[in-house]
Amino acid sequence: MIVNSMENLTSADRFILLGLTSTPYLQELCVLLILIMYIVTIAGNLLLIIVVGTSVQLQTPMYFFLCNLSVIDICFSSTIVPKLLINTLAHDKSISLFGCASQMFFHLALGCTECMILAAMAYDRYAAICKPLHYYQVMNKRVCICLASGSWAVSLINSAIHVVFTFQLPFCRSNHLNHFFCEIPPFLYISCRDTWFNEVATYISASIIGIGSLSLTLISYVYIVLTILNMCSAEGKMKAFSTCASHLTVVLLYFFTIFFMYLHPHSDYYPETSKMVSLIYTVVTPMLNPIIYSIRNVEVKSSIKNKLTIETFKKF
C-alpha cells in the first residue's frame, strides 16, 4: 500500500516524455526536420497575418478567419514544438504536472478552435459563392466576431473540462508517456483505473465539435460545388474552385488525423502510430496552411507581390 501511494505521488509530480524515437541518429534528423518546419510555420503564418493586415483589398470575412487560423497555428506549434526539441536533445526528458496540464489545455483549446474556424471559413465561402448578393449582410462584421469569439469560448471551456477529467485519474502504472507531448490518449493508457468515463467524454466532445464542424463544412461544399457547376463562365468556375480547393485540402488533412486520434477505441491505441498521426496535425498542418493559401489563392499571391515590388522600388 505504501509503495503504491509513493508511485501515485511520483507520477502526479512529473511525467517523462519518451519522445518520437530513442535512436540517436534519428533524434538528430527529427530535430532538424521539425525545426525547419517550425521556422516555416512561424514565418509563413506571420507573413500571411502581415499581408492581410496591411492590404485593404483583403479586409474581408474570409481573410479575417484566415488570420484567426494563422494565429491558432502559431500558438499551436509553439505550445508543442519548443518542448519537443528540448526534450529530444536533453538528457532530462521530464515535464512538471503544471507544464503538462498547461500543454494539454492549450493544445486542446487551439485544436478545437481550429475545427470551428475551418467550419466558419466553409460557411463564409458558401455565403460568398451561393448568396453573393446578400454576402455582406450574411457575413457582416458582427457575425464574424461572434463566430470567432464563440469558437474560442467553447474550445477553452471544453479544454478545461477535459484537463480536469484527465488529471483526476491515478497514474500508478508508470509516469512514462510514450509520446512527444501531453495528449489525452497516452494518459488513458497509463492509468490504473477504468477510463470509461473519460473515453465517453472524449467521444462526445470529438463528435460534437469535430464531426459537427466537418459536417457543416461538407454541407457548405456540397452547395458550393452545385452552384459552381451551374456557372456559365469558365473563368468564374476556375476562380471559385481555386478559392475552395485550398480550404478543402487543409480541412481533410486536419480532420482525418484528429478523428484517428480521438475517435478510435482506447483498446486499439498504438503509441508509435499515434505519434506519427499527432505529428501531422501539430507540426505538418500548421506549416502547410499558409503555403497552401499562398500558392492556391490569387489574391494573397498578388498582395505579396505588390508588397515586395513596393519595397524594392523604395530601396532604389
Of 298, 295, 285, 275, nearest to 115 by C-alpha is: 285
CA distance 250 to 268: 26
pLDDT at 4: 46
Of the chain, the end-to-end C-alpha distance in Å amounts to: 78
pLDDT at 212: 95
pLDDT at 100: 95
pLDDT at 89: 87
Of 60, 31, 48, 52, nearest to 288 by C-alpha is: 48
pLDDT at 307: 66
Hey, what domains does the chain have and what are their CATH numbers? 2-309 (1.20.1070.10)
pTM: 0.88
pLDDT at 237: 74
Specify burial of residue 286 (Cβ count, 10 A radius: 0-12, 13-18, 19+).
buried
- Region of 95 please: left (phi>0), alpha (psi -120 to 50) or beta: beta
pLDDT at 11: 47
pLDDT at 300: 78
- Average pLDDT, consecutive stretches of 10 residues, N- to C-terminus, the chain (316 residues): 42 82 84 96 93 86 92 96 92 92 97 95 90 91 95 97 94 86 92 90 94 94 86 71 73 91 80 90 91 72 71 56
